[in-house]
């Protein structure tokens, strides 16, 4: 079942995000994670890729394995900065042959693309979305940023760009991670006012340490609430205490989102299962 079909049922949709492993050891760990998370019956899993010209092919291969061997419904991420339209068409043909019918269309991060690898066929995700809709056969989604994309001048300008994605054919959206639900609910109000009516799945990730928190705030420009910052600082150096606090914070955040009308949850796993399983179990026993 395509992501869009699941969202139309009205039931809460729960999903996990993986990234292609680089080594045999990491591959084995990911497959163990997939087995453990499958037991929670996710509605789908998504598989990322970087903006390089090679990674999408690893993404396609991993999508095929997760679907064929693990029986998971898969959403393939597809970035376009490092690809020509012909290459995108080739990748899409591969996805169709593997019966993967859902795609998350992304521009990709320019800083991850070597100058020699950059293509000029695409500048924005909306262009890729339009091509995917013309090709047919895919449920196409896009990314969005409740606190605005780091490159956008204002949230309003970012939402205007997001409207272009939806007008081009994006049927659902998945947010960048955030830690303050007020940003998500404000974002829903502003996107609705802009004429965006597609489902917007909130993306969540438990913070596992102070360094990770610094990376989020610096690289992704994601705000960290005072209560979360204080908890991370308190439990730094205590692995078990940090895990418990992080899961409790993310679980409370998830429950508030669902009770506030979010269509589901998209959990960023970092290819690990323990925290994601704990969060989803907490949520499912409450809602």
The DSSP bridge partners found for residue 74 are 45
Residue 189 annotated in active site: no
CA distance 225 to 231: 10
Query: Residue 81 in contact with residue 113, Cβ under 8 Å?
Result: yes
- What tokens does 262 get? 């979010």
Cα–Cα dist 139/145, whole Å: 20
* Residue of 17, 73, 147, 171 marked active site: 17
Q: Per residue, what are the HEC states of 162-215?
A: HHHHHHHCCCEEEEEECCCHHHHHHHHHHHHHCCCCCCEEEEECCCCCHHHHHH
Distance CA 32, CA 257 (A): 29
Q: Which residues pair with 265 in a beta bridge?
A: 14
Positions marked active-site: 17
């Amino acid at each position: 079942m395509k992501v869009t079909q699941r969202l139309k049922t009205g039931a809460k949709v729960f999903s996990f995000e993986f990234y292609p492993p680089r080594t045999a050891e990491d591959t084995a760990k990911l497959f163990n994670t997939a087995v453990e998370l499958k037991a929670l019956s996710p509605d789908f899993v998504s598989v990322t890729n970087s903006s390089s010209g090679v990674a999408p092919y690893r993404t396609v291969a991993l999508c095929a394995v997760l679907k064929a061997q693990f029986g998971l419904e898969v959403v393939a991420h597809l970035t376009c900065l490092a690809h020509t339209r012909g290459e995108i068409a080739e990748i899409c043909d591969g996805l169709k042959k593997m019966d993967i019918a859902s795609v998350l269309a992304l521009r990709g991060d320019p800083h991850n693309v070597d100058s020699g690898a950059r293509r000029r066929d695409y500048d924005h995700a909306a262009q890729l979305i339009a091509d995917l809709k013309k090709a047919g056969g895919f449920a196409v989604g896009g990314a969005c940023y409740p606190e605005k994309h780091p490159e956008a001048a204002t949230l309003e300008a970012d939402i205007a760009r997001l409207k272009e994605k939806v007008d081009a054919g994006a049927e659902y959206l998945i947010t960048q991670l955030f830690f303050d639900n007020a940003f998500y609910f404000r974002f829903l109000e502003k996107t609705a006012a802009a004429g965006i009516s597609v489902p917007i799945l909130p993306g969540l990730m438990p913070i596992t340490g102070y360094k990770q928190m610094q990376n989020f705030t610096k690289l992704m420009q994601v705000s960290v609430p005072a209560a979360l910052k204080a908890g991370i600082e308190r439990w730094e150096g205590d692995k078990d205490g940090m895990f418990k606090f992080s899961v409790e914070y993310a679980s409370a955040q998830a429950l508030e989102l669902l009770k506030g009308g979010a269509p589901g949850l998209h959990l960023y796993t970092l290819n690990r299962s323990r925290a994601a399983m704990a969060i989803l179990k907490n949520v499912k026993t409450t809602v």
